[in-house]
């Protein structure tokens, strides 16, 4: 049996990258899925990939904005109506906002990043918890970032939004004290996704792809599937005693202060 057999799960930001990898993995592990992304064609393609790979997969794709309350409310209601409940939510949708110089940043620029990256996970928590509390259990997983732990891993509003996600899961876990509902976060390091495509394209154009990720002790960048496996663990009953935590999946990047990398052993 899969680790999510019989579970009903929602994944946002499922049109590519970490969200798509998670949808495929969750389905392989037995979950019935409702997946959402703003890019309708992309999330539909994810659903097709799931059906092609997993025999008898139960997956529904929905176009919607994870930072819009009406869309999130409808997403949760759709999952409950179609699947009969909701056991796990992976609030993964996010945007980077690019690297705009501080003097050029506007309040609108900040608000849009915060709306999707921080208010989005809050809305997922808000709308799913009544169903989970009623059944006495459930798992909510949010995508934060190593940029929310320390500086220099992303732009200012992006980093602030991800720090907010870390606080959100801690405070939400305590707000849901005794309900059986768990809330945790994943803090990815440098992962090759659509969001980080400019970094990888630039490095490949310069012929320096082998240097991507060299600042972490694993000495490489990560893959969406590696984040998906952490999401699977946190969504599953294997993590039944894990609550209010933020896990860095970053090759060890956040374990150190800045340093000059050495290729020598200890």
Q: Annotated catalytic residue: which of 158, 177, 221, 247?
A: 158
**What single string gives the DSSP state of each residue in the chain?**
--TTTT-EEEEESTTSHHHHHHHHHHHHTT-EEEEEES-HHHHHHHHHHHHHHSTT--EEEEE--TT-HHHHHHHHHHHHHHHS--SEEEE----------GGG--HHHHHHHHIIIIIHHHHHHHHHHHHHHHHT-EEEEEE--GGGTSSSSS-HHHHHHHHHHHHHHHHHHHHTTTSSEEEEEEEE-SB-SSTTHHHHHHHHHHT-GGGTTTTSTT-S-B-HHHHHHHHHHHHSGGGTT--S-EEEESTTGGGS-S-----S--
CA 32 – CA 5 distance, rounded (Å): 8
158 a catalytic residue: yes
Enzyme catalytic residues:
158
């Amino acid at each position: 049996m899969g680790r999510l057999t019989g579970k009903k799960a929602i994944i946002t930001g499922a049109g590519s990258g970490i969200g798509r990898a998670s949808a495929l993995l969750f389905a392989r592990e037995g979950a019935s899925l409702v997946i959402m992304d703003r890019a309708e064609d992309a999330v539909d393609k994810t659903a097709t990939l799931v059906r092609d790979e997993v025999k008898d997969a139960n997956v529904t794709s929905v176009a919607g904005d994870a930072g819009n309350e009406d869309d999130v409310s409808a997403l949760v209601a759709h999952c409950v109506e179609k699947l009969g409940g909701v056991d796990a939510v992976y609030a993964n949708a996010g945007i980077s906002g690019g690297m705009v110089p501080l003097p050029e940043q506007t309040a609108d620029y900040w608000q849009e990043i915060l709306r999707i990256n921080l208010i989005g996970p809050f809305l997922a928590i808000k709308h799913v918890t009544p169903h989970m509390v009623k059944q006495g259990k459930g798992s909510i997983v949010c995508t934060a970032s190593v940029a929310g732990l320390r500086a220099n891993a992303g732009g200012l509003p992006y980093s602030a939004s991800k720090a907010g996600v870390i606080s959100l899961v801690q405070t939400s876990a305590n707000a849901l004290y005794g309900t059986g509902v768990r809330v945790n976060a994943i803090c990815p390091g440098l992962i090759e996704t659509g969001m980080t495509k400019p970094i990888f394209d630039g490095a490949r154009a310069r012929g320096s792809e082998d240097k991507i990720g060299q600042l972490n002790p694993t000495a490489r960048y990560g893959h969406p599937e590696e984040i998906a496996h952490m999401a699977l663990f946190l969504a599953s009953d294997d993590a039944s005693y894990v609550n209010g935590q933020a896990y860095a999946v970053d090759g060890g990047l956040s374990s150190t202060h800045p340093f000059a990398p050495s290729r020598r052993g200890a």
